[in-house]
Structure 1
């Protein structure tokens, strides 16, 4: 079986703060699905890798030294689980993630996180371009409403659906938390 890792993208409190502020979001059950994935990966000895956004903008909620930059409880890293900090949208840009995955023989990624149309999309595309097989867990990702060039606000479920369709067409195999195929323990 292919060497597999669970890759968790930007599961930080800044997103919970947006949701609490009433910003429309997709997949309200994503955190429960993410918690199941994390538990299953750890129980099977699958590597769990975390990517966190650490925005250099002092006003950003996504700073490692601010409450918004802290991990969500469903994806809090355990001691020994690597955390890669990024300042851009892709988890592979300037983080050393690709080298770390290659160093431990990982060729397949199970991906969960947020926001689907930003950092999840960028990371999945980059992973595919780098030759990793990607399983994107559709019920363990979420995003928010998006404003189009005409000023129209697009529903977060539409944003999620369109982004998943694009990623599933060429960059990832779409699975659910219940259909993930884990390596034998």
Structure 2
């Protein structure tokens, strides 16, 4: 079974975009909303992962406004939400057990941030045997503090590494076309 995995789409990401940080796919939230709606309409699970920092001064500390989910990542009743304190969504949560218990074998990954949590989660999912696809245009990337590399360079290198051995990289339109075709074929069988 397929599931949409939304990583770290919290208000802190929007704050960074609004502050003018160098980024890729500032419009990813729009694509995530489209994909979430499609997955829900098709009866596929939508799973949410949010970063939760133990440091009270962190913008991703549980009490901070910037810790809350962006509108595109608001969980509906019954949707699983996992809070992580590590880069990988698998290390500090029960995500793998949950996915396996639900019969989920294929993950479509979207969210933030490409070079950090998306990267490590995708690699972890692949290592655990999940078939992983990344919606490249529904993933946000930022530049790195203290680095001379742009957000685009970091994003492109990250996606190239992921594509090389861990996941299929596609865009939202391609995913929707592919899944709609699968649904139509399934209706005929």
Q: TM-score range by the shorter chain?
A: over 0.9
Higher relative contact order (CA 8 A, sep 6+): 1
Write the distance in 2 (CA, Å) between the matches of 1:88 and 1:94.
6
Matched, 1:157 2:152: yes
TM-score, with length taken from structure 1: 0.93
Which of the numbers 151, 154, 172 marks the counterpart of 2:167? 172
Query: 1:155 & 1:70 partners in 2: Cα distance?
Result: 27
Give the match's secondary structure for 2:173: coil
TM-score normalised by the chain length of structure 2: 0.92
Determine the C-alpha separation between the residues in 2 that align with 1:37 and 1:152.
32
Alignment partner, residue 135 of structure 1? 133
Q: CA deviation at 1:178?
A: 0.7
Match of residue 115 from structure 1:
113
Give 1:95's match in structure 2, choosing from 86, 93, 96: 93
Shift in Å, 1:65: 2.1
In the other structure, the counterpart of 1:22 is 20
Q: Distance in 1 between matches of 2:149 and 2:100?
A: 38
Q: How many residues align?
A: 180
Aligned pairs (5 A) from 1:46-57: 46-57=44-55
Question: CA-to-partner distance for each residue in 1:163-185, whole Å, 9 max, x for gaps?
Answer: 00000000000011111133538
- Tell me which protein shows more helix as a share of its residues: 2
Which residue does 2:84 correspond to in 1?
Answer: 86
Runs of 4+ in 1 over 2 A off after TM superposition: 181-185
Q: Deviations over 1:95-135 (max 9, x none)?
A: 10000000010000000000000000010000000000000
